[in-house]
Structure 1
C-alpha cells in the first residue's frame, strides 16, 4: 500500500480538458486520479465542483509543479500551507514534487535540472525537509527529463540516491523520463533503474514523448506511451516491484477510451507480478 492506494493501482492524470469525460467514466476504469494542487487551490465554481465530485469518488494523488525545491528563492510557506489544507481536505494519499527548480527571482515556467554536486544535494535536501515539516507528511521527489546538465560531480542516479538519503524522502520514479534522459545523455536506462533504491520508490509515472532524432527525445506528455517505455516499465516492475502507476497526458487528448486502454495495459503489466 502507498497511503490509501494498493500497490497494484493504475491511475490517470486529472486535467480540466478531461473533466466531463472523467465524470462520465465507467466504474472501475481507473483506480485513482492525480492533479497538480497548484492548478486547483482556490478554484471554485463549475471546475471546483467537478474536482470535489471526482475526489469524492476516487482516491486522489497530487503532483506539484511550482514549489521549486532546488531553487535559490525561499520556499513559499504560504503556498505550502495552502497545499497542506488541499491535501488534508481531499485526503490525498501521495504528494510529490520535481527534483528541479522553476523559479529564480520569479517563475521561469519550466522544470530546470540541478547540478549533480554535493552542494546541490545539501541545498535541495534541506528544502525538502523544510517542505515536509510544513506539509506534515513525507513527500516524494520525481526524477525530471533534461536536455543539458549544468555541472556534475556524480551521475544522476547517485545524485538522486544522495538526495533521498539526506532529505529522508521518497521517490516517484518517472519511467518515461528515464527513457528520455537515457537517449539524450547517452546512458543505459536499465542500469539507471537498477541503481535506484527500491525501498524509497512509492509510485511510477509513464507518459508519451516526441522523438526528434536518434539522440534527442522531448518529454511532451502529448503522445501515446511508446513501446520502449512500456518495456522499461515492465522491467522496472521486475526489478523494484509493482507500485501505483499513473498515465500522464497533458495535451493532444485522444478520446477517453484510448487513454483507458493505456490504463488497462498498466493493469495487465502489473498483474504479471504478485
Structure 2
C-alpha cells in the first residue's frame, strides 16, 4: 500500500525549527527568523477545543508545523491503539502538519501505557512487530511517517545493527527516518554505538528530518550514563555530530528539541539561528 509523502510546507528552503510550547505561542508567531518552523507532540493537543488547540491552529496558519508522536508504541507486542490513532488523525486533518513522525520504540503492553520510549531488541520477530505497527499507523494517517532512532541506555539483544534494522523497516513500509543526533550521541556514549558509521550507513534520501537536543548526567551514575532530558542547551559534541551528519546527508530540516526547563524564547531562537547557519554554509559549499 502506498501513501502520500509528507506534504509541502510554506517555505521552499530546508530550515531549522524548535519545539513549540503553549507559553511561547505569541513569540513563535512573531519570530523574524527566516523559515523557522515548529514541532509539537500531538498527544498534547487532542482536546476538542480550548486555548491550547486554538493557539496551535493560529500558529499553523502561517508557520510550518511538524507532529512528533510519543504514544503509539509502534514496536510493542500489541498494535497501536485504534482510539489513539483516530484522535491523532483528527488532529492531523485539522492542523495539516508538514511532517508526521513517531518513535521506533515500545511503550505499552497489555493496554498499559508506561510513558517511556523503550528501545527494541533488534530481532526478526520484533522487526515484524515494528513493521506492522508502522503499517497500521500510516494506514490510519493516510500518509507516510518518519520513525526516530531511540536513546540506548543498555545493550539490547540484536541480530543486526540499529541502522540496518531501521532501514529494513523503511524498505518494508515506505516510511522515512528521523535521525535524532542527540539520541545517537547518547547511545554512542552509553553502549558504544559508532555514531559516524551509523550516519554513513543511512542513505540521504531516507532521512526526512534531524533532531538535536540537550542531555544531562544520570543522578545516580553521573556522567557514566547520559540521559535524553531535553532540559538543557545542545552540547558542543552534539553540534559537531550534527555537522558531520549534514555533510553526509545534505540539507535536512533540523529541529532543536526542548521540553523542560524552558528558557526565554529568544534563547531558543539563538540555537535555531546556529543550526540555520550550518544549513546555509552547507548550501554555499554546494554552490561553490
Bucket of the pairwise TM-score, normalised by the shorter protein: over 0.9
**1:63 positional shift:** 0.3
Matches for 1:223-242 after TM superposition, within 5 Å: 223-242=232-251
| Cross-structure match for 1:202 | 208
Q: Does 1:61 find its partner at 2:66?
A: yes
Tell me the TM-score normalised to structure 2 length: 0.89
Q: Does 1:218 find its partner at 2:227?
A: yes
Matches for 1:116-195 after TM superposition, within 5 Å: 116-195=122-201
Q: Does structure 1 conserve the Cα–Cα contact (< 8 Å) formed by 2:188 and 2:194?
A: yes
Alignment equivalent of 1:266, drawn from 268, 271, 275: 275
SS where residue 177 of structure 2 aligns? strand
Structure 1 spans left out of the alignment, 5+ residues: none
Query: For structure 1, which segment, 56-65 or 38-47, has the greater mean C-alpha deviation from structure 2 after superposition?
Result: 38-47
What does the per-residue CA deviation read over 1:146-193, in whole Å, with 9 as the maximum and x for residues that have no partner? 212331112212211222222221001101111010000113211111
**1:201 positional shift:** 0.4
SS where residue 57 of structure 1 aligns? coil
Q: Does 1:102 find its partner at 2:107?
A: yes
**1:37 positional shift:** 1.0
What does the per-residue CA deviation read over 1:67-119, in whole Å, with 9 as the maximum and x for residues that have no partner? 11011223212321221221122121110000001111211010111101111
Q: Does structure 1 conserve the Cα–Cα contact (< 8 Å) formed by 2:138 and 2:145?
A: yes
Alignment equivalent of 1:71, drawn from 76, 86, 104: 76
SS where residue 192 of structure 1 aligns? helix
Q: Does 1:13 find its partner at 2:16?
A: no
| Cross-structure match for 1:246 | 255
Q: Does 1:256 find its partner at 2:276?
A: no
SS where residue 61 of structure 1 aligns? strand
Distance 1:67 1:20 in 2: 30
Distance 1:228 1:27, change over 3 A: same
**1:214 positional shift:** 5.0
| Cross-structure match for 1:4 | 8
Structure 2 spans left out of the alignment, 5+ residues: 284-288
Tell me the TM-score normalised to structure 1 length: 0.94
Query: For structure 1, which segment, 155-164 or 200-209, has the greater mean C-alpha deviation from structure 2 after superposition?
Result: 155-164
**1:239 positional shift:** 0.3
Distance 1:71 1:2, change over 3 A: closer
Distance 1:160 1:190 in 2: 16
SS where residue 282 of structure 2 aligns? coil
Q: Does structure 2 conserve the Cα–Cα contact (< 8 Å) formed by 1:114 and 1:149?
A: no
Q: Does structure 2 conserve the Cα–Cα contact (< 8 Å) formed by 1:37 and 1:86?
A: yes
Distance 1:187 1:7, change over 3 A: farther
What does the per-residue CA deviation read over 1:183-228, in whole Å, with 9 as the maximum and x for residues that have no partner? 0011321111111222110011110011344542111000100110
**1:2 positional shift:** 5.8
Q: Does structure 1 conserve the Cα–Cα contact (< 8 Å) formed by 2:231 and 2:258?
A: yes
**1:17 positional shift:** 3.6
